[in-house]
Structure 1
Amino acid sequence: MTSETSELVLKDQFPGLAGNWHYLDTAATSQKPQVVIDATVAAMGEKYATVHRGVYARSADMTLAFEAARRRVAAFMNAQEDEIVFTRGATESINLVAQSWAATNLKAGDRILLSTLEHHSNIVPWQLLRNGVEIDVCPLTPEGTIDLEAAERMLTPAHKLVAFAHVSNVLGSVLHVEHAARLAHAVGAKLLIDGCQAAPRLALDVQAFDCDFYAFSAHKLYGPTGIGVLWARKALLDQMPPWQGGGSMIDKVTFAETTYAPAPQRFEAGTPNIVEAVGMAAAMDWLSDIGLDRAEKHERDLAGLLRAELRKRNDVTLFGPDDSLGIVSFALEGVHPHDLGTILDEEGVAIRAGHHCAQPLMEHLGVPATARASFGLYSDEQDIEALLKGIERTRRIFG
């Protein structure tokens, strides 16, 4: 097996990859580099205190670190600091938009346009609105990308929101966000982007994207679980009502009336994920030092190499475009993906097998599930070799 994959030797920075273990499930969650672990442990240990409340020095220091993390996220996305809302993850970010912006601004007869390849987290929150809003579904191109020509034909002034994935978690296909924004805005709709798979692999620039909402999770970009980001245009955030009540999100509380803090604080009820915010900022520093351009090339190269190797087999069906970004989904003839995943685990190879929280896409592909290998900055050709060896062993077992 020969290739021109980019040279990144990073495995030794990841304690979770110690031993002869080949981790190919980065699209589900990434392993964490030691620098992120160290920053998180320090924030939980000798630096720990609450934020925004204490008058003592350590609380003040932690508040500075917490808000510095917000500034780091803003820089990572080319955004303004007061446009960054910390959430528990992209799922909560999308639910926040649904329960605050959409519940306030949409009414019966309005329409939302999604696509066939969306993750359940970008489907179910809109169904939970239950206010008479209708959902339309944009089809895919034969290559597995969102068909923006079809979207243009489908969009009408009744559409108030378009919500698309930047990168498919199953197919690795990439959306042209700027094009989608032009189409949405042409009919007066807002554009929300699920950026979970894009944030670890593509440079983010919400100004260039011209979208209205952008959501992602830290744990997919080498940071901690339990924290994510909602970016929204400041004008939209200022108009949105809070969706959860509690401490920190208030201005003044009486039993007669409560007034709320300005955005983004009004959307961050309760004690925030302090430690996780610091860890996320450390992950962004680490990733930015390596370079998003290198990350994109490295993972595209590995995905291309794996697709080329699998294409040599007559018992494998590949899904998605040839230029998929770090994600390769496939089916091995006569073998359920769960069985393949179990045998690969015995070989020290970790893949994802299932519907990947994208059941409508599975129906479109005509399969109940797929096997999915997904790469990170720590992945290399040895991981692919181990996967191919495991597939060959599976073939011998199943005949």
Structure 2
Amino acid sequence: MTSKIRSLGVLLILPLLSISAVTAFVDIPSANALTKRDYTAPNDQPLTVTYGGNFVVCGDHICGPGEHIKMQQELSQAQTGKVSIMMGGQSMMQNKTMSQTMTMESKDLGSVLKLSNANLPLVIPLVKGLYDGKDVYYITTEASDSTIASALGKFTNFPVTFAPALAKTPASSLANIYAFKNGIKGGGVLGFQPNVVDSIPGEMAYSPLWKINLVEWKDATAVTVLGSEDEIVKAANAGKITITPTTIVVNCPIVQWGGNSNGTIPAGHMKIRDSISESGAYGSAQVLNIDTDKMQVTFVAHRGFGPDGSTIYYIATDASQQGPADALGIVLANKTQGTITTSAAADLYQFSNGITGSGPLGFQSGVGSSKQGDQYYSPMWRIQVITWKDPSMATVLENTQDITSKSSMTDMATAGFIVNCPFFSADTVYAHGK
């Protein structure tokens, strides 16, 4: 395990040593997940497992009558099909296709879990935008509106996941992106000039969660390129354009950016690593290559488990606190911390001891409380750290039911920060691998 991964391990394990350590990172209400409340909104919170063996918890509250059963039924209906798990380094491929559904091998793996294809390259299209008149390049992975998700997927020729939970993002965690409905024709999403963003990494105002604002010129004969939010606001105040805010939220992490106009933020890009290890640790960077000529970026996709035990892959783009961001080599986006106590975030279970594997702390791969296609899915992951009370008794936990069944043998604590980790299906990773 590298020193940076050890550093991340310290950050994740601290909550297990003292609840006060968690509150030092973030102001989380003391009641949080164990505060009983009346159940009034059936789609309000993402599903979590039984906590501590005594309570059934739904998001940040104890489940109301029938709520947990209803969530499980809805998740079951959404999770059609089961992508194979390839154990012990054996592919078990049939008809020479890695995307074909295969049989789950169920056996005690002892002290080591070796998932084949634990880390794979994933090539994602870049979209060019503008900030302070300079180019920025970002990816689009989720949208809170199904129509927009479909349209963006067609625009980028890459799957964009419908994630309705993002509509619950608090205003304090959002940034603004401006899309043009008319004006100078160009490579923008709507066929006109590039979108304009209001912040870049390095600024406290930066967030990968963007609220879409539509811009329209009143006089199509007097249009120019507007390269910044200031220019857009100035044009609006002059009566040249209209700005129509929407309630649609998109997850568009910036990968490469120019500096700001006053020079306090230099040009930069996400940290790049030299190589990928098929079964090794996460490493201190998550990007393999940024190619603005081909308009694509190659991320390392890490293998994990969906809530039903199916195979998922995820990338890491940003974290809400500096320590985890530095340890993983990703962008700091402090504004996303505001999602931690809301249903805009979901639970991702990581392991601090037990079965050795390719998880971020050197143990088994993580388990998500939801996945793409679930109404509770969100790329904003509230990290929950699972620690075996007796590591010698550890077994592989492949789904949320497994986690529940072993709750008396484990301790669980929130790590106190958010990591932006969009999920992808195995089919997507195989189809868009380099």
Q: TM-score, normalised by structure 1?
A: 0.25
Q: Which has the higher helix share?
A: 1
Q: TM-score, normalised by structure 2?
A: 0.24
